[in-house]
Amino acid sequence: MIEEYLLQGRNTAKPSFDELAAPGGLVRDHWKKLAHAYDELGLDKMEQRSREISQELRDNGVTYNVYSDPDGINRPWKLDPVPMVFSQQEWEHIEKGLKQRAELLNLILADIYGERKLISEGFIPFDLVFSHKGFLRQADKVKVPGKFQLLQYSADLVRGPLGKMWVLHDRTDAPSGAGYTLENRAAMTRVFPDLIRENQVRKISSYYQTLKNTLTRLSLQNKENPRVVLLSPGTANETYFEHAYLASSLGFTLAFGQDLTVSDGYVWLKTLRGLEKVDVIVRRVDDVFCDPLEFMGDSHLGVVGLMEAVRQKKVTIINPLGCRILENPGLMAFLPRLCRRLLNEELILPSVATWWCGQEKEKRYVLDNLPFLIVRSIYRSNENRPYIGSELSKKQIEDLKKEINTRPYLYVAQEVVSFSTTPSLIGNNLEACNAIFRSYIVADMEKQEYHVMPGGLSRSFPTKGEFIISNQSGGISKDTWVLGPSPRNESVAPVNQPVLRQLKNVLPSRTGESLFWLGRYLDRAISNVRMMRIVLKIYNERDDEVHPETNQTLVILLKSLSALTGTLPGFTAIDQLKLRQPEQELLSLAVETARAGTLAQSLQSFLSNGYAVRDRLSLDTWRILDSISEEFELMKENGKDLGKIYHNLDQFIIKLMAFIGLNNDNMTRASSWRLLNIGRFLESSVNTCTLLQAALANNVAPDVEKQLMELVLMCNESLVTYRYLYRSTLQMQGVINLLLVNEDNPKSVAFLISKVDEHLAHLHNGQPDGGLSPAQKKLLEALTMIRLCDLSQLMASGNKKELSDLLGRLIVLLGEASTFIFENFFSPTQSQYSFVKSNNSLPEL
């Protein structure tokens, strides 16, 4: 396998630097042990290991969202089984260069928002800073106490044709990928434990411990038990998995902008118990979206007044707002001189050759050499895509020249670097692919120096000659191995721990709402699945076409299914065509996600709410969610085959019940567990009442009634319980007693209502006198109605109207209780954004 790879390199017309293959077709020294192991494995076993890695990542729910891609939401993360490898000697040079670069950028950042001597002395051009959108005037003179202003830093590195490492990009605003790096290493360790051990691959855990220690030391107010939140743009963000994963791994609270508010100069987290003060914010939201009051007025990702809280030193944000200025690629042209000025050293890791067009000489060079350069805007955004000169037509080049001449200070040009190649498993072959390496650096507050992760996130691209490698454009991630023993001083001791104090109910109200609806959609899906299984079973046993006159049981079941799902008129329509030919409607109820109330819509909403609270769910729970998602996709593929869908329904019951069982077994009896169960039990009680009313509150023949009672008991998993309790033939009074009144039966409405009330009593209900909340009053009224009803009298008349009225009233009361629960815990007060006027409407100055 390796011999073929080496031969492939020798046959290349223009061989570039290869990470594995040295000149002459030999294997580089630090790759030899690894290359020998791959040869022994062979391609077939490597392909098998690759599948194991993919399954491991899929089981762990590792995803990456690709914008504007119909298949992009929750796309599985791709990991190459062949790592990017650095020798110990080479890494020492890279590590030294990264520390130096971080120190240099830290000093530049402090100066730009401080005295600005570098501008006044001519080391940095005025236009380069003040024409960049990343320079936030609102952050001027705002300083994080201590030496470090740049607390987290990432650099994208590439190796040039002569083997020298170059910095391609500096990432300082909200650098991503550290969470994926941790998952990549976990997957590789699981699949290649021997290779990692035998090659002495350095561990990356010290980076995460240093990061956690640094964050806990950054609190300006609460030094003992600071509250750290990770601010995420939301579930639709491309790297949301990473946000949830890091928050869960580091023990921080995952928050969206809507979860935070500013009052009295402080930032507060909206929790079920009220407002909790926030000390440190790790932001994954771009700086200009963080405060709509001072930056982008139409942003809904940030927090109104956040910048003022930072000015008053009431909260610390990392990285500080305004540090995106350091991502200006034009700065790269001035870093060598700045390094000599500020550190009295030569720049160890050079940048890719860069020309800022704001200087006349450099502009002329760029205009004369456009076909051989890459031209970028100095401000990186989705709208400002780079221009690859060799791919532009003559007209496009002329248009670009006009644009550069009009606003030269907004453009930089960079050399087209021939990236090194590294072996990657593509298809069933080992191919040489261009690669880029992203490093991760964090300030160590204890040692007062920067700590570099001994590894990072590498990416390769199957298409050779690509200059822009990213996950959005189809790049494949690679674990990065630094070989050699770990330095003795690499282990990081945890920061001095205060007296342990348990925090209760620190649950953002938005997270609580998602848990509540997760429970509701969970039980809604279960009820729909069980009812559809019953309906399909009876439908498959029919003798001929459905006729309301001859198959009354099936007709009532079909109408009950419409009532249970809320997809009215459905089978209850005056036109009886759907009853006579129900296949199309049944298929619609199974697979149509755009139709409210269908099984597909309930499952989709269940999975969406689960994704929104994934930081609160265990790994095993997430694996079950992923399994449900796969079954959901299979059901949609079977959208025209009721027989195959029936099999999917059987699998859904197993997996949905496994989800319930695992959470009952694993979740602490805290607010999150109680809200999940409040949603479940409320939904279950409403569904039971709806089914009883639709299926049993009808005047029908005795044999039909008996069959319906048996099927309703089956639908509620209570048929066996009924037989053990009554040991007689089915009677309406016994069925209603078991499913409505009997508080020893966990499937009865009375039991479910009492459990909802019990969970609510443990949550803060906001009643100043300690009395019952409005929701509890509605639940008490419903429970009292059930306890006071005389079933003997109710059944004696033989008229089902009283039973139907009772069930209808219970459904109304439970709906009102649900509304009160929502208003009490989740309904937001006046939106913080309603006070913000869009900056677009402000007059120009």
Looking at residue 63, its pLDDT comes to: 79
**Percentage with pLDDT > 70 across the chain:** 90
What is the side-by-side strand order in the sheet with 253-255?
253-255, 228-231, 280-283, 316-318
Taking residue 497's Cβ as centre, other Cβ atoms within 10 Å add up to: 9
Helix (H) or strand (E) holding 477: strand 476-482
d(CA 114, CA 315): 20
Looking at residue 492, its pLDDT comes to: 55
Round the average pLDDT of the chain to a whole number and report it: 88
- Examine the pLDDT at 70 and tell me if it is beyond 50: no
d(CA 159, CA 449): 26
- Coil, strand or helix at 168: strand
Does residue 96 contact residue 343 with C-beta atoms inside 8 Å? no
Q: Is omega for the bond preceding 462 within 30 degrees of 0, making it cis?
A: no
d(CA 160, CA 168): 11
CA–CA–CA angle 555, 557, 561 (5° rounding): 120
Contacts 24+ apart (CB under 8 A), 105-111: 105/150, 105/153, 105/170, 105/172, 105/326, 106/147, 106/148, 106/149, 106/150, 107/342, 107/343, 108/326, 108/331, 108/338, 108/342, 109/149, 109/150, 109/172, 109/320, 109/323, 109/325, 109/326, 110/143, 110/149
d(CA 82, CA 423): 7
The phi, psi pair for 73, rounded to 5°, reads: -65, 125
d(CA 18, CA 25): 10
**Percentage with pLDDT > 90 across the chain:** 65
Selection from 520, 539, 515, 516 nearest residue 649 by Cα: 539
Looking at residue 514, its pLDDT comes to: 93
Which residues, other chains included, contact 769 with Cβ-Cβ below 8 Å and sequence gap of 6+? none
Q: pLDDT tens digit string along 454-472? A: 999 999 886 655 555 555 5
- Examine the pLDDT at 65 and tell me if it is beyond 90: no
Does residue 739 contact residue 749 with C-beta atoms inside 8 Å? yes
Q: pLDDT tens digit string along 185-240? A: 999 999 999 999 999 999 999 999 999 999 999 988 777 788 999 999 998 888 89
Q: pLDDT tens digit string along 598-624? A: 999 999 999 999 999 988 888 888 889
d(CA 166, CA 417): 9
What is the side-by-side strand order in the sheet with 274-277?
260-263, 266-271, 274-277
- Examine the pLDDT at 828 and tell me if it is beyond 90: no
- Examine the pLDDT at 473 and tell me if it is beyond 70: no
